[in-house]
Amino acid sequence: MASGQLYIDLDAVVANWRALDAMTAGETAAVVKANGYGLGARQVARSLAEAGARQFFVATAHEGRELRETLGPGPEISVFSGHMSGDTDAIRDAGLTPLLNSADQVARHRAALPDQPYGVQLDTGMNRLGMEPEEWAALRSDLEAGPLSLVMSHLACADEPEHPQNAAQLVSFSEMTAGVTARRSLAATGGILLGPGYHFDLSRPGIGLYGGLPFAGARPTVHLTLPVIQTRDLKPGESVGYGASFVTDRPRKAATVSGGYADGLLRAMSGHAQLFAGDTPCPVLGRVSMDLITVDITHLPDIPEELDILYPAQGVDTLAEAAGTIGYEILTALGHRYERHYTGGAI
């Protein structure tokens, strides 16, 4: 076993979707962009579709086309980036619903696919994607006259429940969409947790499906174990890894495991992260390199064959904290070299 073993619990993904779905009175979609947040869009989407999800969101038309090949006809697949130049064939052939973000995209879509359903994304204060109030007001009547399926916006601070921008965006979205007959959507995972006022007709959880914050009640979905390649005894004054950034002040036993930043284990974890032998933490020594991480196993009674870096005692957000980042980045960076094992769900 030369590579890490990544275990993905599809039943946990489904359980998280059902738990979030139970919090709202409307429809619950699933965001499966970025290869299902690193877990595998094909496996995740099939499992969620079998569980009852009928609406999926992806980032690009290319992702949408690949997802349609997996799901077949039926489920609606919406594309956050809208209708970009070069997307027409994918949108038409895969039956995708672009979320139009600007007047330019409206014009492109109407010219190329006048009968193809579309959604609209509104900017309610995040200043990232979507039409601003003036642009929406100018186009609204024309857009509502066509096959408009969804009007949505995105909360910038939903993971901070007390942040005043949440309420401000809710007011803006409510005002901009008053009287709209198409479905409305404002809440992703964090928005669902903010309460019914944010739910509207459709919610679209992403990170919460995969076990990440702000859904603290989520079931863990991933377990990553790394094989030990070599162990050695360190003498006081010896260093470990590139840059000699760690120098031991006492005798230690060190283990080098197969995994590094090429596998999504970020270099910023150096000197901060821990791996685990059962429930016993083993600190990282020195820098995380491209393919290898060295850890302190001095305190273990036996030399382990493998060590865990993601498992219930250290979830994606705990590991992310050690790297100074967020759980999203840990998940979406999970490398292609891992041997993946899926349990449950509709593989």
* Residue showing tokens 């857009």: 143
Q: For residues 39 and 13, is the Cβ–Cβ distance under 8 A? A: yes
Q: For residues 272 and 322, is the Cβ–Cβ distance under 8 A? A: yes
Task: Give the dihedral sign, CA 199/210/100/154.
Answer: positive
Kind and range of the H or E run holding 30: strand 30-31
Best CA proximity match to 77, nearest among 191, 89, 85, 62: 62
What is the spatial distance between Cα 66 and Cα 154, in angstroms, rounded to a whole number? 24
Task: Give the dihedral sign, CA 62/65/69/75.
Answer: positive
Q: Which long-range contacts (CB under 8 A, 24 or more apart) does 216-221 make?
A: 217/19, 218/16, 218/19, 219/9, 219/12, 219/15, 219/16, 220/9, 220/12, 220/311, 220/312, 220/315, 221/8, 221/9, 221/10, 221/12, 221/13, 221/16, 221/39
Q: For residues 28 and 52, is the Cβ–Cβ distance under 8 A? A: no
Please give the structure tokens belonging to residue 339: 């041997």
**Is 33 one of the annotated active-site residues of the chain?**
yes
Count of alpha carbons within 13 angstroms of residue 60, beta-carbon side: 8
301 burial type by CB count under 10 A (0-12 exposed, 13-18 middle, 19+ buried): exposed
Active-site choice (210, 242, 253, 338): 242
Active-site choice (33, 118, 261, 338): 33
Please give the structure tokens belonging to residue 128: 């990232």
Please give the structure tokens belonging to residue 213: 């914050």
**Is 242 one of the annotated active-site residues of the chain?**
yes
| Catalytic residue numbers, as ranges | 33, 242
